[in-house]
């Protein structure tokens, strides 16, 4: 939702999962890189 002058405009927000599956790809990450990053983030958030 946004305001444009005196109008309120409602716009559909794309489904993030649909966008991830069908949208353009701009990064290349291996499964191992993804897993390592995920584990590091979990350690930072939740501890060892």
**In angstroms, what is the C-alpha Rg of the chain?**
18
pLDDT band of 42, cuts 50, 70, 90: very high
Can you tell me the mean pLDDT for 8-37?
88
* Euclidean distance between CA atoms 27 and 25, whole angstroms: 6
Can you tell me the mean pLDDT for 8-22?
89
pTM: 0.43
DSSP state of 21: H
Residue 32 has a pLDDT of 92
CB neighbours of 11 closer than 8 A, spacing ≥ 6? 1, 2
With 70 as the cut, is the pLDDT of residue 20 above it?
yes
User: What are the sequence ranges of the domains in the chain?
Assistant: 23-48
């Amino acid at each position: 939702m946004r305001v444009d002058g005196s109008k309120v405009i409602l716009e559909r927000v794309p489904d993030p999962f649909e966008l991830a599956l069908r949208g353009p790809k701009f990064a290349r990450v291996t499964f191992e890189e993804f897993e390592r990053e995920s584990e590091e983030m979990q350690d930072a958030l939740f501890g060892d």
